[in-house]
């Protein structure tokens, strides 16, 4: 089943993105959506992130707004996050309230440095093929059009460093990155 979704996503790309995102919003964090994100990018890193389908990642997992004990507002601009650093405690659930006040689409993606690099490569590869940046609303990432607001709740489970980056081509390189220090 997942293989079918992966193949379809790879073939149909953006056509599938909307319905999958819709389905995903209903179930919180489906393996299908994770597959879609990776499937459209393919190759190498797919295996790594694929193993994290279902929303469980080494550094945490998606949550609901009601579970959040703390709200953090983050502004997305061309090309920065404000604030661009944050400290949370392991076990803490944070509701991120995001607003894109820039002039182009941006994304907010939570992940380890390795996950961010993999996603960046995927998006760069898509851009090279002439594909427009894909929207996503996975458990750990959301894309925002200019003027758009969105929220994302996440439970941080492991002490360490988590990044929030915008991986649209060139954005991270221009400074669109943030760091979360997760303390024990």
Residue 137 lies near Cu ion (rule: CB under 5 A):
no
Encoded one letter per residue, x for contact with Cu ion by CB under 5 A and - for no contact, window 32-71 reads ----------------------------------------
Extract the tokens encoding 124: 């760069």
Segment lying near Cu ion (by CB under 5 A), choices 34-42, 80-88, 154-162, 176-184: 176-184
Extract the tokens encoding 67: 């579970």
Residue 176 lies near Cu ion (rule: CB under 5 A):
yes
Encoded one letter per residue, x for contact with Cu ion by CB under 5 A and - for no contact, window 75-114 reads -------------------------------x--------
Residues binding Cu ion: number (CB under 5 A): 5
Segment lying near Cu ion (by CB under 5 A), choices 8-16, 112-120, 123-131, 170-178: 170-178
Cα separation, 165 vs 80, whole angstroms: 9
Which of residues 171, 178, 180, 182 is near Cu ion by CB under 5 A? 171
Cα separation, 142 vs 22, whole angstroms: 13
Decide whether 55 or 111 has the Cβ nearer to Cu ion: 111
| Pair type for strands 80-82 and 70-77 | antiparallel
C-beta of 129: minimal distance to Cu ion in Å? 19
Segment lying near Cu ion (by CB under 5 A), choices 85-93, 112-120, 127-135, 172-180: 172-180
Residue 18's CB: how many other CB atoms inside 10 A? 10
Given its phi and psi angles, is residue 13 left (phi above 0), alpha (psi -120 to 50 degrees) or beta? left
Cα separation, 9 vs 15, whole angstroms: 8
Cα separation, 59 vs 116, whole angstroms: 13
Cα separation, 167 vs 146, whole angstroms: 16
Residue 120 lies near Cu ion (rule: CB under 5 A):
no
Interface ranges with Cu ion (CB under 5 A):
106, 166, 168, 171, 176
């Amino acid at each position: 089943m997942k293989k079918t979704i992966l193949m379809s996503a790879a073939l149909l790309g953006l056509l599938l993105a909307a319905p999958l995102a819709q389905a995903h919003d209903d179930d919180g964090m489906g393996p299908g959506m994770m597959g879609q994100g990776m499937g459209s990018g393919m190759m190498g890193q797919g295996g790594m992130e694929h193993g994290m389908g279902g929303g469980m990642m080494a550094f945490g997992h998606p949550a609901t707004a009601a579970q959040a004990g703390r709200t953090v507002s983050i502004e997305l601009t061309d090309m920065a996050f404000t604030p661009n650093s944050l400290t949370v405690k392991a076990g803490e659930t944070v509701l991120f309230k995001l607003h894109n006040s820039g002039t182009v689409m941006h994304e907010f993606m939570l992940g380890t440095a390795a996950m961010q690099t993999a996603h960046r490569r995927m998006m760069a590869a898509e851009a090279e093929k002439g594909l427009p940046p894909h929207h996503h609303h996975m458990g750990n990432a959301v894309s925002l059009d200019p003027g758009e607001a969105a929220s994302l709740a996440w439970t941080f489970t492991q002490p360490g460093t988590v990044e929030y980056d915008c991986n649209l081509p060139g954005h991270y390189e221009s400074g669109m990155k943030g760091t979360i220090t997760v303390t024990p």
